[in-house]
Amino acid sequence: MVNFDLTGKVALVTGGSQGIGLALGIGLAQAGATVCFNCTSENSIQKGLAAYKEAGCTVYGYAADVTDEEQVKNMVEKIHQDIGLIDILVNNAGIIKRIPMLEMTADEFRHVVDVDLNAPFICTKAVLPDMLEKGHGKIINICSMMSELGREMVSAYAAAKGGLKMLTKNIASEYGKYNIQCNGLGPGYIATPLTEALRTPQEDGSRHPFDAFLMSKTPAERWGTPEDLAGPAVFLASDASNFVNGHILYVDGGILAYIGKQP
């Protein structure tokens, strides 16, 4: 029988206090995993715990800046003491800065790449020993449409997410022989705080121009919801995907397949 059950598995979801990470954490918990979520502050932990409780999930929150290797190592050590070794890692934490290249500073570029690309390397490196010891592991990197496409004002984000796609393939290549699968989940445009600026109606009540544009590029003709990603994440976290490795599973309502609606 196909096995989607995550009972007995320990999952760490970075950036799991809200948005996509919260939905992924809920989905993994509902599939039986013991879920540890990460975010940047005690305040975010409390916000996250309340949201998980409202969804009927008992989870564990850990504050750490995922770009800081020492903080990540300490967080993983606390999880070992509190829960045990980690079976599933979801590298979800991420930020975006929408600034034209000519106006973006090198530090701003570096900060986005630090969170969206360097941090998945740091977190994966911290958790791989657990998976090697257990003889299995699942790593899921949250990629993006910008892993495949460019767009104005998101140079740092697209560079990072393109890099994250290739980091995913490299981890798959290097650790597949240890029964560790590393895959990407590539959300389309999802209604979360990170995309609020692209959806807010105009002062005259009309749709945000990007909102209207996006509908013309999305066969499903809607924004995705964080919940749309939970099932694909459970699949990639479960034994049902043990021979899927180095794959980016796009959950985009068809955006990447579609040339766009004729005006």
Instruction: Tell me which residues are annotated as active site.
Output: 157
Distance between CA atoms of residues 66 and 191, nearest Å: 23
Within residues 80-139, the interface with ligand NAP by CB under 6 A covers 92-95, 115
Q: Which does 98 bind (CB under 5 to 8 A by kind): ligand NAP, ligand GCO, none?
A: ligand GCO
Distance between CA atoms of residues 63 and 163, nearest Å: 25
154 binds ligand GCO (CB under 6 A): yes
Which residues 6+ apart lie within 8 Å of 10 measured at CB? 33, 34, 36, 79, 83, 84, 85, 86, 87, 88
66 binds ligand NAP (CB under 6 A): yes
74 binds ligand NAP (CB under 6 A): no
163 binds ligand GCO (CB under 6 A): no
21 binds ligand NAP (CB under 6 A): yes
Tokens of 72: 């990540």
Q: Which C-beta is closer to ligand NAP: that of 147 or that of 238?
A: 147
- Ramachandran class of 258: left when φ > 0, alpha when ψ lies in -120 to 50, beta otherwise: beta
Written as one string, the DSSP assignment of 200-228 is: PPPTTSPPPHHHHHHHHH-TT-S-B-GGG
254 binds ligand GCO (CB under 6 A): no
Distance between CA atoms of residues 75 and 65, nearest Å: 10
144 binds ligand NAP (CB under 6 A): yes
223 binds ligand GCO (CB under 6 A): no
Distance between CA atoms of residues 196 and 237, nearest Å: 28
Stretch that binds ligand NAP, among 121-129, 132-140, 193-201, 231-239 (CB under 6 A): 193-201
44 binds ligand NAP (CB under 6 A): yes
Q: Is 10 helix (H, G, I), strand (E, B) or coil?
A: strand
Which residues 6+ apart lie within 8 Å of 101 measured at CB? 155
Nearest approach, Cβ of residue 45 and ligand GCO (Å) = 24
First-to-last CA distance in the chain?
A: 47
Per-residue x/- mask for ligand GCO, residues 173 to 202, rule CB under 6 A? --------------xxx----xx--x----
Stretch that binds ligand NAP, among 36-44, 54-62, 80-88, 97-105 (CB under 6 A): 36-44
Per-residue x/- mask for ligand GCO, residues 126 to 145, rule CB under 6 A? ------------------xx
């919801």: which residue's tokens?
225
Q: Write out the residues near ligand GCO by the rule CB under 6 A.
A: 96, 98, 144-146, 151, 154, 157, 187-189, 194-195, 198
What is the binding site for ligand NAP (CB under 6 A)? 14-15, 17-21, 38-41, 44, 65-67, 92-95, 115, 142, 144, 187, 189-190, 192-195
